[in-house]
Structure 1
Amino acid sequence: MRIGFIGLGTMGGPAALNLIRGGHELTVCDLDPKRAEEHLSLGATWADSPAATAQGAELVFTMVFGPRQIEQVVGGDHGLLSAMSAGQVWVDMTTNKPAYVRELAATFAEIGVQVIDAPVTGAVDGARAGNMTQFAGGDEATVARIRPVMELMGPLHYMGANGSGSITKLASNQLWAIHATAMGEALVMAVKSGVELSRAWDALKIGASESWCMHHDAPSVFAGHYDPSFNLDLCKKDLGLIVEACNDADTAAPATRLVCAQFEAAREKYGGDKGELHVVKLEEDAAGVSLRLDGDWVPHWEK
């Protein structure tokens, strides 16, 4: 297929490479042309604007920071809305506001463009390996038609009407944030109480305490870099969307609100550019405990 891809950041860049390797013809666009060097070397074409990216494409993907950036991609003389036409499909993989996704879908439907919201999870190693989980909302027949393309980037789960993919992604991030905070509290409590860290980690990776976070993210804490591939500014953006979704659904969500405050405290103390797992360092510092652990902790984005 002829595909346009806008946003070649931490997740988008590897995802686009998987589409090229899958035999598709890509036109790519990003604020930083340097991010496209590998894509261009593999045969992709560069575009200077979202409109140019969509020109002649059957399918357009976007993966940018958040709702404000999508507004910029869509609007104006060089935005997607000015360039797309009947028969094209736009898949937005951004972590976005569900209500805004539904609004965009209705607007693009007026010109005959199908919009699918398909935000992703699975960290950088998942994106690199083609194992990036996608939660799709929108027309089911359209999702079925483009499924072979999307599955080059990873598993695809159809969640329902427009907005359903975005809600599912927010719920996924909601659980991750709670798990990450709880992981820090549990490891710090165990270590400060006299349990050797490696033994505590081995035990907490099994049984009722097992989680993807404990398996995948604890090594970033042990190594002391706290996973800079996703920073606390991005956490603030996502948690803001999550709390907004809780408010819209009229749910109490007390654990979510407490965790949101912890991430904000970490952001204020260490800086928004620091790795997401500094929420664990916040607990370490408060307790006077270090969770450094000797080992060959290869960063997940290098795997």
Structure 2
Amino acid sequence: MKDSTVKHQIGFIGTGVMGRSMVKNLLNAGYSVSVYNRTKASAEELFALGAVWVDTVAELAQQSDVIITMVGYPKDVEEVYLNKEGLIPHAKPGSVLIDMTTSSPILAKKIAEQGKARRIDTLDAPVSGGDVGAKNGTLVIMVGGEEKVFHSVKPVLEAMGKNIILQGPAGAGQYTKMSNQVTIAAGMVGVCEAIAYAQKAGLDPTRVLESIAGGAAGSWSLSNLGPRMIAGNFEPGFYVKHFIKDMKIALESAQEMGLLTPGLELAKSLYERLAAEGEENSGTHALYKLYIK
């Protein structure tokens, strides 16, 4: 049911695999949503649901109270926010810009500083939960920014996610997401090796999952992506190429902090090998293909 008391005019940039579902959930929650994407075709299905297309980032910025971005890479974030035709130069004073892309913590801090200079509030709020979480509105949302700004837009975030936590000042959301990606990177290697091991031992991997998913080995990746591996379904909930980008950011941050991350380095090398074999647009669980040749 739509909430007629909602007043925010939402602008949304980036209607890809995740973004489309996030916009649908915002519309279902009663928000008016304008969208911009590099290719209009990727947003077509949203127009029938009530979303409105705008032709430029600047136009979207000028007419929105809250602007959400869900793009691909840090370079895309920088272009959308800091380009002369981007959000920071054109957003209204008092508006809130929420970057939900997994991006650089340093860039998040830079955007916050430039936004503050123009009386624009910003949050870095990357997510976890993949395409399933985006569709179901159950994304984990990790937020960096000022507490008062966080609370002012929390209802907007609640339309897209369930576990929504303010982690600290600008950049804290991105640092938290890097912790998430470090965990997933090493964990995915383990999931792939476990299923391949079960098959090599002559076991039914589906039955093995039934035994181990509910025990100490249990994880989201094991329960949700393990069955996809077994079924040979490698459609992306999250792209290999984007995961490699995340791991590069995490490694750079770890090196800056002097932190040893051998598990992350191994996972990154395996994913780069997978991408080199033509799988960069597959889902991250396609790592399993390296084990079953």
Identify the residue that residue 219 of structure 1 maps to in structure 2. Answer: 227
Identify the residue that residue 62 of structure 1 maps to in structure 2. Answer: 69
Letter in 2 for 1:48: D
CA distance in 2, matches of 1:241, 1:178: 15
Q: Deviations over 1:61-80 (max 9, x none)?
A: 11100110012212334211
Choose from 233, 239, 243 the match for 1:231.
Answer: 239
Identify the residue that residue 46 of structure 1 maps to in structure 2. Answer: 53
Letter in 1 for 2:209: W
Identify the residue that residue 213 of structure 2 maps to in structure 1. Answer: 205
Aligned pairs for 1:1-303 within 5 A: 1-155=8-162, 156-285=164-293
CA distance in 2, matches of 1:267, 1:82: 36
Letter in 1 for 2:217: S
CA distance in 2, matches of 1:114, 1:103: 12
Q: Where in structure 1 are there 5+ consecutive unaligned residues?
A: 286-303
Q: Secondary structure at the match of 1:26?
A: strand
Letter in 1 for 2:169: A
CA distance in 2, matches of 1:260, 1:138: 29
Indicate the larger mover: 89-98 or 192-201: 192-201
Using the size of structure 1 for normalisation, the TM-score is: 0.90
CA distance in 2, matches of 1:47, 1:242: 34
Q: CA RMSD in A?
A: 1.4
CA distance in 1, matches of 2:41, 2:217: 42
Indicate the larger mover: 265-274 or 88-97: 265-274
8 A contact 1:54–1:80 mirrored in 2: yes
CA distance in 2, matches of 1:25, 1:198: 44
CA distance in 1, matches of 2:188, 2:235: 12
CA distance in 2, matches of 1:251, 1:47: 44
Identify the residue that residue 291 of structure 1 maps to in structure 2. Answer: none
Runs of 4+ in 1 over 3 A off after TM superposition: none
Q: Deviations over 1:22-73 (max 9, x none)?
A: 1111111001111222322222221111111111211111110011001221
CA distance in 2, matches of 1:281, 1:227: 13
1:238 Cα offset (Å): 1.3
Identity of aligned residues (%): 30
CA distance in 1, matches of 2:48, 2:201: 54
Aligned residues: 285
Q: Deviations over 1:80-118 (max 9, x none)?
A: 122113211100001010011001100110000111000
Q: Where in structure 2 are there 5+ consecutive unaligned residues?
A: 1-7
Identify the residue that residue 5 of structure 2 maps to in structure 1. Answer: none
Q: Deviations over 1:196-250 (max 9, x none)?
A: 3222211220221111111010111011122333222112111111111211221
8 A contact 1:191–1:200 mirrored in 2: no
